[in-house]
Structure 1
């Protein structure tokens, strides 16, 4: 798990302004060395300034202690080092202060200004010090070497810590940027994974609904006809044996057809994902499995040999054999459509006839199919059912999903679906589906 700057700030474990105890101990150690250095150099300063030695030592110790706050106030540390440069003390504080200042997040113009002030102050002090050493005989360098030595010493005391601080600061900012980028990428990947899981779950739910709708359309119609024929068979078994035999044969045909369609559908569901081995499937992430399963299920209707409009007459003939009076009217030029359009139109008519068997057994039904320029329209309307009919004794159950499934099919193709009772007491189902 990567961390950002905010995470680092939240994970502070050190005292006061230090992020960690390790950095606090480092700064305390540097400040202690700086105090010792400035205290020792304060002896010479007190002698040159004509003040008590103890005052010089105390002054140097207090000035050197400023290094303790270098991380919190680097500007103050550099200003203190510049201020005590004429006293020829605080060299360690100046070096560490310049490094801390350059590595900080302060604007470059401030860093450059303070670094320039520190260099100029150091240059003046070194020039005076080298010249005094020549006058006292401590050094026998020529006059030309005085400015050269002062410049070299000043550059040596200011340039390396400044450049090192700039490098460390740039590297620190780069690492922070990379850390934030990695954290952002991790959050994006997590969000994408969550969205992929949501899409997979949505796809699974959609395909469950679609499969349930297809199963309902395949089974409900034929089973309804089987129940109607079985009820008729029970009614005429003793009075008309020949008709009973005929109805029994129809029941058997309907059952075989229903079983055949169920086998085809289940076969597509079993082999649609194209994966045979369990080892390969175990290596696939959960979201990918969900998406693949949903994609496989979505091919149930497309890959199987679904019904088409040319089979409407056979469908109506089956309802007529069950005792329903059905007439079919076709308008416009008959033509073929895409497979999903023909299947949807067929299923709408099929489910509407199934509903007539369930709720208005024996009612006369009118099926109208209109081929238009850019759309195909269908309507199934039944008249009020008779008071008493043989099929009414079948007491067919209703799950309440037929109309919902029809509407879902039509709307998915961009069509319009309307259903409701008629003024005459019957029921009407209408659908219009775009031809492309």
Structure 2
């Protein structure tokens, strides 16, 4: 039946492009229905008994029915009613044409596009042309063959109507099911995208607070040294020059951090200071000790010569290790093995965390790191590493584990010299200047 090419009315049928596909296929299907209608259900090919006028009338009447079917996707019920009405006159007035296919194709379209409470009434209405066809077969049969003709015509025409309705109903239900699945998938994708965007926003706010702490600390160091330099500028010029140099280095470092902050949060005016010490790679050992206490075997491998990093870069490296280790303990648990590597180069530092994918939770069928870590935590890490000017990668390993890594710039600040602890002019020591 031509119903195979159609589409449901309603949400699925109103999508862009759906009507175009239906119309293109109908260019093939409707001519085939026309040929079957005039060649099988008419006496167009009879050599005798049918004059030219009758042949033309059959072709025109069949063409009118086919043209009517072209509208069935937009108005299936009215088209079906019109097809039934159109089929009655030939069945009553002539023996040359039996319009059966047109009402059946229209019935299939109704069953596909309309609910059963509507299409079943149309199936009942299809009994009109079916009854006329059965009556015609009985009338034209011999007296001894009328019973056989009645039974045969009833089975043929009645089962055809039932099959047309059943096929249309099945096709419509299948199409609606596909539409529901597609709509659910689109909704899920939109929801996941929204959650990921929220995760990135939360990570940006956290970065903003941490960078604010970094810059605020640098500015505090600058103020202290400026005050000290002002006091000793006449009595101890050398110490004043040293303080001014440290002020310059701290100022340049603070400006670099501010540029990162503004690049990340162009839309945000207010950030809060948490007042906590900003962590970095120096705090990796305590973090690994806490992980080992949970039953996870954690190792640390450092290659190259460590040196001081910009505070935001140091923090990004720390957060990457922290997030990866948190996911290992959460999704693999006791028995897992994880390796943390830090590779120092003159201009880059590479940090990586790789697990073996084996733990008590994974053995019990719990969520695996790749499935969980592919989402919102990694979205935040990717954002943080990008702002720090690094390259981020994450994904499953060939051995069944998961690896998270970042390659970050290892510059030592605009001045090119590492900034160690600063001996204050005011008599004390200020740890971590520039951090």
- TM-score under structure 2 normalisation? 0.48
Which fold has the larger relative contact order, with Cα–Cα distance below 8 Å and residues 6 or more apart in sequence?
2
Decide which structure has the larger Cα Rg and report it.
1
Larger helix proportion, structure 1 or 2? Answer: 1
